[in-house]
Structure 1
Amino acid sequence: MQTTNGISILQIKNTQVSVCNNKKKEELIQFDQFDEDLIPKSKLFSPMNVNLNLKCVENYGNNKIYDINETGPNEQQNKSDQLLDQLNSKQRMDTSLLQVNVMTERLNNQNLIFYAPQYIPDVQHFLTQPVPVDKIVQCTLIKNKKGFCNFYPKFELYFSESLKFLCAGKRQSTKRKSNYIISSNVENFNSNNKSVCIGNLKYGTIENSFYLYDNGNDPNKSGQLETTRREYAVYFYKKSSLGLKSINVLIPSVINGQPQDFKPITQNQGIQKAFSQSKNENVMQLVSRPPTFSEEKNAYQLKFTQRVRAASNKNFIIISNNQQNDEEFILQFGKCGDEYYNLDICHPLSILQAFALCITQFEIKLK
């Protein structure tokens, strides 16, 4: 490793990767694959070089995580097992998109205040309500591959700074494709337990679509409107003209601080149908930011803040469908380590809507 003006430069297969310090503005350039004979990946993603926003990283030589869920006495049921045994497994990077990490003042430009309350009296209400205007919630998502999680993946969400557990989603062993229960308890995914089950993410009848509901009942099985499930969001994926993944998000509009209520009894009463009606003010459309072509790099690229540390085809940015300012975002999701992803959420999304959208990134396979 050599150092130039305080910036560590790592030579990997004749490709330079600049690891930024807090004072310099440099670019994190995508590379194809680690050659562990030259430099172990554990050194590149160690706490010495990259801030993973995880205070509990110890003994970075072994890259093990200990006591990642530091909860109080009233939250002991949410304690995780030791997550992610190692950070040093071999990793391949997506080469279809060059991702540039620019140390901009994007968060300052948006005049956002970090929002991470220590005491949350009603977890379900907190997770399902829109993030307050002019605030940003910074979380870290962890994909747990331990044990049977290879077959039934589990994703856990924490505040990045305090490591307070927020919620977890786990794929269910059903015949239908990609159904997830989202729970406020890291171990309990019983959909009948309304005290912990806060959401259901289901693969849609339309190809490459997902629907997010609360813990209410299926209208085909419920005889009462009061107990019918509420629809929180609809996610659509398609290939763009560039052959890259494009995301459309439909959510209830937020009016006077409250999201509009959708409890569809039939397919003609949901968010998707309401959006198809012209000038419907009860539904808001969000889209993924398209990459721009860099003639210098001869590749398509996206700009992320410093919380995104590694190139991945899971990385994406969500904006409003009519947004012009390329320095602002509503959601930013990107890799920061092996099976670790940072998630930044702004109004009008809720934490639950954002978390469910990120889970779909691991399920979608466009042809």
Structure 2
Amino acid sequence: MSLKSIVRELKEMRDGIGSMSRRGGSGSDGRAAGHARSGSRHSWPSLWAEQQQPRHQHQGRWADLPPELLLDVIQRVESSEATWPARRQVVACAAVCRSWREVTKDVVKTLEECGRITFPISLKQPGPRELPVQCFVRRERATSTYLLYLGLSPSMNVENDKLLLAARKVRRATRTSFVISLVSDDFSRSSSTYVGKLKPNFLGTKFTIFDSQPPPDAVALPNNRPSKRQSKQVSPRLPLGNYNVATVTYELTVLRNRGPRRMQCTMHSIPAECIQEGGKAPTPTGTVQSLDEPVPTLPSTTKGKEVAVQFSSTSLSADLSGPVSGNEAPLVLKNKAPRWHEQLQCWCLNFRGRVTVASVKNFQLVASVDPSLNVPAAEQEKVILQFGKIGKDIFTMDYRYPLSAFQAFAICLTSFDTKPAC
């Protein structure tokens, strides 16, 4: 039997498992499964449906493959399907059964190591060190929705565009906020697709990025407020909440025509030492929750009250690598200063062809490090995140180590919010 035939049969088995799970599920689990099967380009392949299987349910003939043969099959699929949408076959292998998922988890390397986005957990992992991950953002004004896709630019066949993350602007009486999800049609904070949120202050000069999961250092900041909502998340062994992982500030200006914006990002979950030679950024390594491990719950006291939860790095050692000490200085990013072009009469930055339209939203971020860290000048000049406009409601976003796709997307969303004082 050819490799393509094997993969095709695996997809049929995965769909069958998902169907059995949806028939047997109810309540919130059934609702999550429904969202997972929405439009192919607007959703990640369902990996959570498998969790509803009984422990001893018969998983088909492919579960009994010899380990050596199983490893060879998955390695061949992983190496041959390097780009989306073909890389869905790798995700299909992880959804067959427990044994297939464990082998797939070992074969698929982290985003930093292989430069390929495979599972939803890849969106929380640092990007590759050398070449950036190139994405584009599509803004839908009618629904105040922002869609992050993987790729150089929108393709002619929109079905081939891989949706990574989606965000929706929620307007309130005094301020707005952005809710970030894995899909484009469900932004509920109690959903299994909820990833995090972005919250600005009234003037639009300070933005706080909240993650639905604790940072790898497992230290809850004083203003973290874990929620009692429970869900199977990108790293679902940890309780769901809102954890402050980064702060983006814009310089306050009284006169708005005094040059380009100035911004600074403080990454609370990333130590400044990670950009040194041999440094390592915290990297979540889980794919999906194990079938035999329940989702933990947050303790609660009285109705309507929330309790802060303290975490230790030892409790996360099985799923997260590179724990960050609480006394390490966080990584600080600053926007690269543009230069004034006399002929064009505008401020310019070298985006290397990735940005074609002048906009106040365009920026490049570089590391702002203490001289005591002895970081080479070339490393300090390396662009970690760049964002810019290429057409009406179309923007490019390129990020690299040590930022993740989620962190980079949240930082870029700050450009879309109204800034009365900037």
TM-score range, shorter chain: 0.5 to 0.7
C-alpha change, 1:176 and 1:185, in structure 2 (3 Å) is farther
> What is the SS of the residue equivalent to 2:360?
coil
Contact 2:339 2:349 in 1 (8 A): yes
Cα 1:237–1:265 shift into 2, 3 Å: farther
Partner residue of 1:333 out of 387, 392, 395: 387
The alpha carbon displacement at 1:172 in A equals 2.0
1:207 is displaced (CA, Å) by 5.5
Cα displacement string for residues 271-322 of structure 1 (whole angstroms, at most 9, x for unaligned residues): xxxxxxxx95241000111112345555432221111111111111111114
Residue 209 of structure 2 corresponds to residue 212 of structure 1: yes
Contact 1:138 1:342 in 2 (8 A): yes
Partner of 1:131: 127
Matches within 5 A, 1:1-367: 76-79=37-40, 118-119=87-88, 121=91, 123-146=119-142, 149=143, 153-161=144-152, 163-193=161-191, 195-204=192-201, 208-215=205-212, 219=225, 226-239=239-252, 242-251=258-267, 252-253=269-270, 256-258=280-282, 281-295=328-342, 297=344, 299-322=346-369, 324-325=377-378, 328-367=382-421
Residue 100 of structure 2 corresponds to which residue in structure 1? none
1:177 shift after superposition = 1.4
- CA distance in structure 1 between the partners assigned to 2:125 and 2:335 by the alignment: 22
Per-residue deviation, 1:168 = 0.4
SS at match of 1:212: strand
What SS is found at the alignment partner of 2:407? helix
The residue identity in structure 2 corresponding to 1:258 is P
Q: Structure 1: how far apart are the matches of 2:141 and 2:340?
A: 35
TM-score (norm 2): 0.49
Cα displacement string for residues 178-231 of structure 1 (whole angstroms, at most 9, x for unaligned residues): 2111110111111101x2011111124786111111226962765999554322
C-alpha distance in 2, partners of 1:185/1:295? 44
Does the 8 A contact of 2:225 with 2:242 survive in 1?
yes
Offset of 1:75 from its aligned partner? 6.6
Residues 113-156 of structure 1 show CA distances to partners (whole Å, capped at 9, x for unaligned) of: xx96634757441111211322411101000123xx2xxx1000
For 2:210 and 2:395, locate their aligned partners in 1 and report how far apart those are by CA, in whole Å: 24
CA gap of 1:207–1:227, structure 2 versus 1, over 3 A, is: same
Distance in 2 separating the partners of 1:253 and 1:211: 15
Summarize the Cα distance change of 1:132–1:220 in structure 2 as closer, same or farther, 3 Å threshold. closer
Structure 1 counterpart SS, 2:354: coil
Show CA shifts across 1:25-84 (max 9, x none). xxxxxxxxxxxxxxxxxxxxxxxxxxxxxxxxxxxxxxxxxxxxxxxxx97514579xxx
Runs of 4+ in 1 over 6 A off after TM superposition: none
Cα 1:116–1:132, aligned 2, differ >3 Å: closer, same or farther? farther
Q: Which structure has the highest helix share of the two?
A: 2
**TM-superposed deviation, 1:244:** 2.6
SS at match of 1:306: coil
Q: Per the alignment, do residues 327 and 216 of structure 1 end up closer, same or farther by CA in structure 2, a change over 3 Å counting?
A: closer
Amino acid aligned to 2:247: V
Q: Which runs of 5+ in 1 are unaligned?
A: 1-73, 82-114, 267-278
Tell me if the contact between 2:260 and 2:360 (Cα under 8 Å) persists in the aligned partners: no
Counting strand residues as a fraction of each chain, which structure ranks higher?
A: 1
Cα RMSD of the aligned pairs, angstroms, is 3.7
Which amino acid counterpart does residue 163 of structure 1 have in structure 2?
D
- Following superposition, the deviation at residue 332 of structure 1 comes to 1.1
Contact 1:238-1:247 at 8 Å conserved across structures: yes
**Structure 2: which amino acid aligns with 1:156?**
L
**Structure 1: distance between partners of 2:347 and 2:395:** 21
CA distance in 2, matches of 1:116, 1:177: 39
Mapped to 2, the partners of 1:349 and 1:356 lie a distance apart of: 11
- Closer, same or farther in 2 for the Cα pair 1:77/1:176, shift >3 Å? farther
Q: Secondary structure at the match of 1:307?
A: coil
TM-score (normalised: structure 1):
0.56
The letter of the residue matching 2:265 is V
What SS is found at the alignment partner of 2:388?
A: strand
Q: What is the identity percentage for the equivalent residue pairs of Structure 1 and Structure 2?
A: 25
Q: State the aligned residue count.
A: 240
Query: What amino acid does structure 1 have at the position aligned with 2:390?
Result: C
